[in-house]
A = this chain, B = another copy of it.
């Protein structure tokens, strides 16, 4: 059984996912595309020699009987409308982050899905599918380090351009840590705080960089998360979980070891696109496989998208206030209990 997929938004990430599904993965087929720029949609069909129809807009694409599932890869502000329409039509939805640009928007999606009664939506938080994070998760779940007490992590980019603003450190960058960390420790956030170390001379005048976010969970785990988007030296994702019996740490990206010019070293990635390639493959493969085998996607849920939005809001508030800000989620709907927190087979 092949999942027939319609793609809404054929920009860079949309085309990447089309390439994946068409050339690398199995079980899915792109049968429909649309884009606000219809030429772009046509170009994508041509580029990948798709046997796919070009639709004028998301509504008509979603309405098509030929479409089983939609991939929402348009720009952020357009996500909510497509996801809502997808749920209404009973179609599966894979939506790139953000699920919606506001917590309220995410909650509307949650409520629509709850009303539908079964899971349809998966949010594109791919880190849960990274083998390093999956090893961390497994170690924690197996109690290899006992109860987790603290997490130290860092999200570093070599540089960002001038349009990157202080709040984007939360909404575009930390957002991945926000999702993956609560999944990692099976806990919810309680409060957040932001501090600003000395600013790097490489940051643009309007940008606070680096930043340090402290998140505390309901269970008391203290998370120290550094965001440093002009670190110059490389794209580097660090995560270390300190437990009662020991510590586990994300592996460095495997890279050949060299001895040259008085240095013993390995290479660090410079481009974020190279870091989670396997995870992108796996999240989409899991989306397709889970629908085939269980009838529901099993990856990050609409509720996870809502958690990310609420937590990011609290962090942005804390950027300004300098104070602890509470993260208030409300009660988790029945639909998202028990089923949750599954990554995928390693």
Contacts and interface: CB of A to CB of B under 8 A. Distances in A.
Interface of A: 22-27, 131-132, 135-136, 139, 144-150, 152, 195-202, 210, 212, 214, 219-222, 224, 226, 228, 231-234, 236, 242, 244-270, 285, 289
B221 A258 contact: no
Contacts of A200: 147, 149, 244
A251 B214 CA distance: 27
Contacts of A220: 197-199
B268 A266 contact: no
A37 B152 CA distance: 47
Given A152-B226, A248-B257, A263-B266, 19 more contacts: A23-B289, A131-B254, A136-B256, A144-B260, A145-B258, A146-B201, A149-B198, A150-B197, A152-B152, A196-B222, A197-B220, A200-B244, A228-B242, A231-B246, A231-B247, A232-B244, A233-B247, A249-B258, A251-B256
A285 B234 CA distance: 30
**How many copies of this chain?**
4
A267 B259 contact: no
A202 B245 CA distance: 9
B257 A251 contact: yes
B210 A150 contact: yes
A210 B242 contact: yes
Contacts of A221: 197-198
Contacts of A267: 262-264
B258 A147 contact: no
A237 B91 CA distance: 47
Contacts of A261: 232-233, 246
Contacts of A231: 242, 246-247
